[in-house]
Amino acid sequence: HPFSFSSSGEADGTVEVSIKALGDFTETVGGLEVGTRAYIDGPHGVFSPDLYEGAGFCLIAGGVGITPTMSILRTFADRGDTRPIVAFVASRTWEDATCREELGALVGRLNLSLVHTLGQPPPDWSGEVGRIDEAMLRRHLPAGSQRWQFFICGPNPMMDAMEDAILALEVAPSRVHTERFGW
Protein backbone atom coordinates (compact mmCIF):
# COMPACT_ATOMS: atom_id res chain seq x y z
CA HIS A 1 0.00 0.00 0.00
CA PRO A 2 1.62 3.31 -1.03
CA PHE A 3 1.35 6.04 1.59
CA SER A 4 2.97 9.44 1.99
CA PHE A 5 4.96 10.36 5.04
CA SER A 6 3.43 13.05 7.23
CA SER A 7 6.26 13.05 9.78
CA SER A 8 9.25 15.36 9.72
CA GLY A 9 12.23 14.18 7.72
CA GLU A 10 14.27 15.11 10.79
CA ALA A 11 12.33 12.77 13.14
CA ASP A 12 14.87 10.16 14.20
CA GLY A 13 13.44 6.65 14.49
CA THR A 14 9.84 7.77 13.94
CA VAL A 15 7.71 7.46 10.84
CA GLU A 16 4.19 8.83 10.61
CA VAL A 17 1.69 8.49 7.80
CA SER A 18 -1.77 9.97 7.53
CA ILE A 19 -4.20 7.58 5.90
CA LYS A 20 -7.63 8.34 4.47
CA ALA A 21 -10.05 5.43 4.76
CA LEU A 22 -10.94 4.51 1.18
CA GLY A 23 -11.05 0.71 1.08
CA ASP A 24 -10.72 -2.56 2.97
CA PHE A 25 -7.15 -2.06 4.21
CA THR A 26 -7.34 1.67 4.89
CA GLU A 27 -10.67 1.23 6.73
CA THR A 28 -9.01 -1.14 9.24
CA VAL A 29 -5.39 0.06 9.50
CA GLY A 30 -6.31 2.59 12.21
CA GLY A 31 -7.32 -0.31 14.45
CA LEU A 32 -3.88 -1.92 14.49
CA GLU A 33 -2.44 -2.26 17.97
CA VAL A 34 0.63 -0.30 19.02
CA GLY A 35 3.64 -2.56 18.56
CA THR A 36 2.26 -4.38 15.51
CA ARG A 37 5.15 -5.14 13.16
CA ALA A 38 5.06 -3.23 9.89
CA TYR A 39 7.41 -3.46 6.94
CA ILE A 40 8.29 -0.17 5.29
CA ASP A 41 10.06 0.32 2.00
CA GLY A 42 10.97 3.73 0.69
CA PRO A 43 10.64 6.61 0.32
CA HIS A 44 10.44 6.32 -3.45
CA GLY A 45 9.02 9.66 -4.56
CA VAL A 46 10.56 12.98 -5.51
CA PHE A 47 7.99 15.21 -3.78
CA SER A 48 10.61 16.86 -1.58
CA PRO A 49 11.93 20.42 -1.40
CA ASP A 50 15.36 18.94 -0.65
CA LEU A 51 15.65 18.06 -4.34
CA TYR A 52 14.98 21.57 -5.63
CA GLU A 53 16.63 24.90 -4.83
CA GLY A 54 14.14 27.56 -3.92
CA ALA A 55 14.10 31.05 -2.46
CA GLY A 56 10.62 30.21 -1.20
CA PHE A 57 7.88 27.63 -1.47
CA CYS A 58 4.21 27.48 -2.36
CA LEU A 59 2.45 24.40 -1.01
CA ILE A 60 -1.05 23.58 -2.25
CA ALA A 61 -3.01 20.83 -0.50
CA GLY A 62 -6.51 19.54 -1.02
CA GLY A 63 -8.03 16.85 1.19
CA VAL A 64 -5.60 14.02 1.92
CA GLY A 65 -2.95 16.06 0.08
CA ILE A 66 -2.29 17.63 3.47
CA THR A 67 -0.21 14.52 4.31
CA PRO A 68 3.00 15.28 2.38
CA THR A 69 2.44 19.00 2.95
CA MET A 70 2.59 18.42 6.71
CA SER A 71 5.78 16.42 6.28
CA ILE A 72 7.39 19.30 4.40
CA LEU A 73 6.26 21.90 6.95
CA ARG A 74 7.29 19.77 9.95
CA THR A 75 10.71 19.19 8.37
CA PHE A 76 11.20 22.91 7.70
CA ALA A 77 10.19 23.72 11.28
CA ASP A 78 12.57 21.15 12.76
CA ARG A 79 15.39 22.58 10.63
CA GLY A 80 14.61 26.19 11.54
CA ASP A 81 14.20 27.04 7.84
CA THR A 82 13.51 30.76 7.40
CA ARG A 83 12.59 30.85 3.71
CA PRO A 84 9.10 32.18 2.96
CA ILE A 85 6.29 29.69 2.48
CA VAL A 86 2.70 30.24 1.41
CA ALA A 87 0.51 27.19 2.06
CA PHE A 88 -2.96 26.90 0.54
CA VAL A 89 -5.14 24.29 2.23
CA ALA A 90 -8.53 23.44 0.73
CA SER A 91 -11.14 21.63 2.83
CA ARG A 92 -14.85 21.02 2.45
CA THR A 93 -15.67 22.34 5.96
CA TRP A 94 -13.68 23.73 8.88
CA GLU A 95 -14.26 20.42 10.70
CA ASP A 96 -12.69 18.60 7.73
CA ALA A 97 -9.54 20.77 7.91
CA THR A 98 -7.00 18.15 9.00
CA CYS A 99 -4.12 19.37 11.22
CA ARG A 100 -5.58 22.88 11.43
CA GLU A 101 -4.35 23.46 15.01
CA GLU A 102 -0.82 22.33 14.19
CA LEU A 103 -0.83 24.41 11.01
CA GLY A 104 -1.71 27.44 13.11
CA ALA A 105 1.17 26.68 15.47
CA LEU A 106 3.58 26.28 12.55
CA VAL A 107 2.79 29.84 11.46
CA GLY A 108 4.63 30.91 14.63
CA ARG A 109 7.63 28.66 13.94
CA LEU A 110 8.10 29.33 10.23
CA ASN A 111 8.00 32.23 7.80
CA LEU A 112 4.61 30.79 6.82
CA SER A 113 1.50 32.42 5.40
CA LEU A 114 -1.42 30.03 5.70
CA VAL A 115 -4.47 30.29 3.46
CA HIS A 116 -7.41 28.06 4.38
CA THR A 117 -10.24 27.89 1.87
CA LEU A 118 -13.52 26.14 2.55
CA GLY A 119 -16.09 24.77 0.15
CA GLN A 120 -18.84 25.00 2.78
CA PRO A 121 -17.83 27.73 5.22
CA PRO A 122 -19.68 28.46 8.47
CA PRO A 123 -21.70 31.71 8.58
CA ASP A 124 -18.97 33.55 10.52
CA TRP A 125 -16.11 32.51 8.18
CA SER A 126 -13.99 35.44 6.99
CA GLY A 127 -11.38 33.47 5.02
CA GLU A 128 -11.26 32.27 1.44
CA VAL A 129 -14.22 30.35 0.03
CA GLY A 130 -14.31 27.83 -2.79
CA ARG A 131 -11.64 26.18 -4.84
CA ILE A 132 -8.10 27.45 -5.09
CA ASP A 133 -7.72 29.21 -8.42
CA GLU A 134 -5.38 31.59 -10.21
CA ALA A 135 -7.05 34.67 -8.66
CA MET A 136 -6.61 33.27 -5.14
CA LEU A 137 -2.97 32.47 -5.82
CA ARG A 138 -2.42 36.04 -7.09
CA ARG A 139 -4.06 37.50 -3.95
CA HIS A 140 -1.71 35.68 -1.59
CA LEU A 141 1.60 35.06 -3.36
CA PRO A 142 4.20 37.83 -3.05
CA ALA A 143 6.00 39.51 -5.92
CA GLY A 144 8.86 37.38 -7.20
CA SER A 145 7.26 34.10 -6.16
CA GLN A 146 7.49 32.78 -9.72
CA ARG A 147 11.09 31.90 -8.74
CA TRP A 148 9.83 29.70 -5.89
CA GLN A 149 9.21 25.97 -5.96
CA PHE A 150 5.54 24.88 -6.10
CA PHE A 151 4.29 21.62 -4.59
CA ILE A 152 0.74 20.41 -5.26
CA CYS A 153 -1.04 17.41 -3.76
CA GLY A 154 -4.74 16.61 -3.77
CA PRO A 155 -7.49 15.26 -5.98
CA ASN A 156 -6.50 14.97 -9.64
CA PRO A 157 -8.97 17.62 -10.93
CA MET A 158 -7.60 20.12 -8.39
CA MET A 159 -4.03 19.30 -9.32
CA ASP A 160 -4.73 19.70 -13.04
CA ALA A 161 -6.35 23.09 -12.39
CA MET A 162 -3.45 24.17 -10.17
CA GLU A 163 -0.84 23.23 -12.74
CA ASP A 164 -2.64 25.43 -15.29
CA ALA A 165 -3.09 28.29 -12.79
CA ILE A 166 0.56 28.23 -11.71
CA LEU A 167 1.79 28.23 -15.29
CA ALA A 168 -0.46 31.25 -15.91
CA LEU A 169 1.56 33.01 -13.18
CA GLU A 170 4.63 32.56 -15.42
CA VAL A 171 6.20 29.90 -13.21
CA ALA A 172 8.54 27.60 -15.13
CA PRO A 173 7.18 24.04 -15.42
CA SER A 174 10.41 22.75 -13.83
CA ARG A 175 9.36 24.53 -10.60
CA VAL A 176 6.00 22.73 -10.35
CA HIS A 177 5.97 19.39 -8.50
CA THR A 178 3.03 17.07 -7.90
CA GLU A 179 2.23 13.98 -5.91
CA ARG A 180 -0.76 12.16 -7.34
CA PHE A 181 -2.69 9.62 -5.30
CA GLY A 182 -5.16 8.67 -8.04
CA TRP A 183 -3.72 6.54 -10.82
Instruction: Report pTM.
Output: 0.89
Q: Cα separation of 182 and 155, whole Å?
A: 7
Strands 85-91 and 112-118: parallel
Tens digits of pLDDT across the chain (183 residues): 667 777 788 877 777 777 777 778 878 888 889 888 888 877 777 888 888 988 999 999 998 889 899 999 999 999 999 999 999 999 999 999 989 999 999 999 999 999 999 999 999 999 999 999 999 999 999 999 999 999 999 999 999 999 999 999 999 999 999 987 655
